[in-house]
Amino acid sequence: MKKYSLTLLFSLTCFLGLAQSDIEMADNFRADGKIYVVIAVVLVILLGLFIYLISLDKKISKLEKQVNK
C-alpha cells in the first residue's frame, strides 16, 4: 500500500509541475502554423503502428489456427 501511495504522490507532483510550465516551442509552432505538420507526422506514425499491429494479429491468428489443427 505504501508503494502505491508513493507512486501516486510522485505522479501527481510530476503532473502538477508539467501543467504549470509554459511551453514556448508549442506556442511558436502554433504561431508559425507548423503545429499541423507535427500533428500530421504523429498521426502518420500512429496509423502505421495500428496497421502493423493489425497485420501482426492476423498473422498470429493464422499461425494459431495452423498449430491447433
Contact 42, 51 (CB under 8 A): no
Contact 1, 10 (CB under 8 A): no
Provide the 3-class DSSP secondary structure of residue 65. helix
Count of structural domains, the chain: 1
Structure confidence at residue 51 as a pLDDT band (50, 70, 90): very high
What pLDDT digit, counting tens, does each position of 26-44 carry? 777 778 888 888 899 999 9
The residue segments making up the domain with residue 33 are 2-68
Structure confidence at residue 53 as a pLDDT band (50, 70, 90): very high
Q: Would residue 40 be called left, alpha or beta, if left means φ above 0 and alpha means ψ between -120 and 50 degrees?
A: alpha
What pLDDT digit, counting tens, does each position of 5-19 carry? 777 677 777 666 555
Count helices and strands (H / E) in the chain.
Answer: 3, 0
Assigned C-alpha cell, 12? 501527481
